[in-house]
Chains A and B, each alone.
Chain A
Amino acid sequence: MRLLLVEDDPAFFEPLAADLRGAGYIVDTATDGAQGEFLGATEPYDAAILDLGLPKLAGLEVLKCWRDAGNHMPVIVLTARDAWHEKVDGFKAGADDYVCKPFHPQELLARLQAVLKRVHHFNQAKLKVFGVELDEDEQTAMVAGGEAQPLTAIEFRLLRYLMLNAGKVLSKAQLGEHVYSESAEPDSNVLEVYVKRLRKIVGNDLIHTRRGQGYLFGLKP
C-alpha cells in the first residue's frame, strides 16, 4: 500500500511517517499544498493523508482539485480545526474521513484501515426496488429513471419502510412506528393521506391496500 502524506510541520510529519512505515505502508511526503496536489494527481496512491492548513495551496483546495479531476483516491483529512462546520465542509469537498489533531497514532492507523476497507464498496445511500430509486441523503425519489422528486420527511420514511419491506403486508401500526417523529402525535388517518401522496409520486399500482390488514409495496401478481 502506497500512501501520500501532505503535512507542513516537520516536527509532526516525520514521526507520523515513521509510524505509518512501521505499520507497513510506503509513504511519500509533501510539505506544501501545491506539491501535494501534484503528487496526488500524478502518482497512483492507495490513500492520502492531507493536512488542511498548508502553505501555497490550502488542504481543502487540494482535495477539491483532486475530486474535480475525477480522482477518487481515499483521503483522510487531518486538521487542528475541529469545528463541525469545518468537518462538514471537509466531507463536502470529498474527504473520506476526518481526524482531529491531536490524535494517537493508533487512531489514525485504525481509521486508515477502515477507509481502505470500505472505500471500494461504499455506496449505501441509494435504495432501488421495482424501478423506484430512493436517495436517502437527499430524500428524493426517482421513478423509472425520471426526475428526482423531493419527499417530505414523513413521505420519505414511509416510502423507505415500504420499499425495505417490499412484498410484505405492513399494518398501519407498524408503519406508524417507523414514520412518526418525536414531536408528531400518532394518528392513523394521517397515514392514509401520506399513502395517497406517495401513490401520486410512485404510481398507483405499486402501493396496494389490503383491507383490514394494511399496505403492501410491490407489483401486482
Chain B
Amino acid sequence: MSLRKRLGRGLIAVLGAIFILHWLAADWIIRSAAEKQMANRLADDGYSLLESLGYSDDEQVTFHGVHISSVYNRRLSGHYYLVKVDAQGYPSPSLLDFPLAVEPVGPEQSMLYHAAGPEQTPLLVLTLGAVRFGHRINISVAEDLSAVDHDITAIRVAYLGLTLLILFSAIGLLRWDIQRALRPLATVRAELEQVAGGGRQHIGSEVPAEVQPLVEEINHLLELVARRLQQSRTAMGNLAHALKSPMALLLRTGEDPHFDGRPDLRARLDEQSQAIRHCIERELKRARIAGDQQAAPAFNPHSEIIALKKTLRAIYADKPLDIQITAPKQLLHFDREDMMEILGNLLDNACKWARQRIDVELALDGGVAIRVADDGPGCRSDDLAYLTQRGRRLDESVQGHGLGLGIVADIVGSYRGSLAFGRSKTLGGFLATVTLPLHR
C-alpha cells in the first residue's frame, strides 16, 4: 500500500471517530440543555402548586389549581401535574383519568425523570417532595417531550449535516496536505526511475529531513558503483599495459634471426604467443564491459558513429570504403565505452569483409536497434546457424569473424539484448543486428 493511502486511511479513521464522538457529545449537551430549561419551568409550576397548598378546617390539605397556568386544565394538553398528599392523589384535569406513574421522593427532595404519558407520549417529570401541615406531599409536574423532541431532532439533523460538511472538508484538506507533503518523495521516485534508465547519475538532495539520509545513502551507493567500475576499468587498463609490452617483446623474439634455421620453433612460439594474446585481449575486454549499469553517461550515436567512420576509414585506408550512416542525433543513456565497442567491432568486421559498401543503421523503436550490413561475401547459412548457436563462443567458432563478434555478444548479453546474424537484403553481404532494450 502506498504511504499516501496509508496516511489517508489512518487520518480518515481517526477523524471519523473523533467526529462521531463529538457529535454524540454535542447531541447530549443539546438535549440536556433543552431538558434543563424545561425542568426549570416545571420547577416553577411545581413550586407555585406547593405555594397554593392550604389547610382546610376539616384537617384536609387543599390546593388551588387555578393559581397556575390554564394549560393544566385543557384535556391532554401535554402539561400535567399530580399532587399526592400522603396516599391521596390529585391529578390535573388535563390528565383525564390517565394514571400517571410517578416516583415517590422524600421531603425537601426533587427528582427529574422520564415517564410515559397518555397515548404513549414521552414525558419529562419533576417530582418535588415536601411536608406541609404534618402531611407528606409529593408534587409531580410533567410536560410532553414530543414537541421538544421534534425541535431537537431538527437541530440534530442540522448539526449532523454541519458536522459531516466539516468532516469531509477536513478529509479533503488533509488529503491535499498529505499529497503536498509527499511530493518530494514522488520527485525522488521519478529521479530514481531516471537513474535506473541511465538518465542521471544521482538523485536530487532537496528533500525533507526524514528522507535526506535515504537519498544520501542512495547517492553514495550510486557513486560507489560508478567508482568501482572506473577503478576496475583503470586496473584492467594497467594490467593490459603491463602484459602487452612483454607480449610485444615475445612476438619480436620470434622474429630473431636465430630462429631462421628453425621455422618449426618460430611457428610454435608465434602460435602460442598469439594464443596468449587473444586470451588476454578477450578476457580484458570482457572485464571492461559496464553492461547493465544503472548510471550511464549519455551517448550521442550520430556524432560517435561519424567519428568511428573516420577512424575506420583511416585504419582501412587502402580500401575504398563507402560507409553510410543512419542514426538519430538525440542522446542515448548507454555506456559510451560499451556502445563504441559494439559499433566498433561490428563495423570493423564489416570493413574487413566488405568490398566497398557498408550500411550502419541505429534506430530507436521501443529499444535500440543497430544494423550493420556489408556487400562482402557474407556467411554461409550453416555457418550462420553455427554463429548464433547458444553457448558457442563466437571467437572460437568461425574463422575471420574473430574476437570482435564474441565481445559484441558478451556486451549484448549483459544488456539483456539480442544479437542476430544473417544476409543483408539490400547489400547482399553479412548483416549483424543488435537490439538492446531501452528500459532496463
Contacts and interface: CB of A to CB of B under 8 A. Distances in A.
A88 B306 CA distance: 10
Contacts of B369: 183
A81 interface: yes
A97 B311 CA distance: 8
B247 A101 contact: yes
Interface stretch (A8-16, A38-46, A195-203, A207-215): A8-16
7 A-B pairs with least C-beta separation: A84-B344, A102-B248, A153-B326, A85-B340, A102-B247, A80-B244, A101-B244
Given A9-B245, A182-B425, A105 B252 contact: yes
Contacts of A92: 307
Nearest to B327: A153
Nearest to A118: B317
A91 B340 contact: no
Interface of A: 9, 11-12, 15, 19, 53, 80-85, 87-88, 90-92, 95-98, 101-106, 114-115, 118, 122, 124-125, 137-139, 153-154, 156-157, 177, 180-183
Contact of A104 (B251, B304, B307): B251
B12 interface: no
Contacts of A114: 317-318
Contacts of B237: 80-81
Given A98-B315, A182-B373, A82 B281 contact: yes
A16 B240 CA distance: 19
B155 to A, nearest CB: 77
Interface string B283-308: 00100100000000000000010111
6 contacts: A80-B237, A91-B314, A139-B325, A181-B326, A181-B426, A183-B371
B249 A88 contact: no
B317 A12 contact: no
B251 A180 contact: no
A149 to B, nearest CB: 14
B320 to A, nearest CB: 9
B277 interface: yes
A84 B336 contact: no
B265 to A, nearest CB: 17
Contacts of A104: 251-252, 255
A183 B425 CA distance: 9
Nearest to A78: B248
B359 interface: yes
A6 to B, nearest CB: 15
A105 B255 contact: yes
Nearest to A81: B237
A181 B361 contact: yes
Contact of B341 (A53, A84, A103, A181): A84
Contacts of A153: 324-327, 361
Given A102-B248, A182-B361, A182-B424, 11 more contacts: A81-B241, A84-B344, A85-B340, A88-B307, A91-B307, A97-B317, A101-B245, A101-B248, A106-B255, A114-B317, A122-B317
Contact of A87 (B252, B326, B344): B344
Contact of A80 (B241, B310, B424): B241
A177 B426 contact: yes
Contacts of A12: 245, 248-249
Contacts of B281: 82
Contacts of A183: 361, 363, 369, 371
B309 interface: yes
A97 B245 contact: no
A181 B307 contact: no
B255 A88 contact: no
A103 to B, nearest CB: 7
Contact of B306 (A138, A181, A182): A138
Contacts of A122: 317
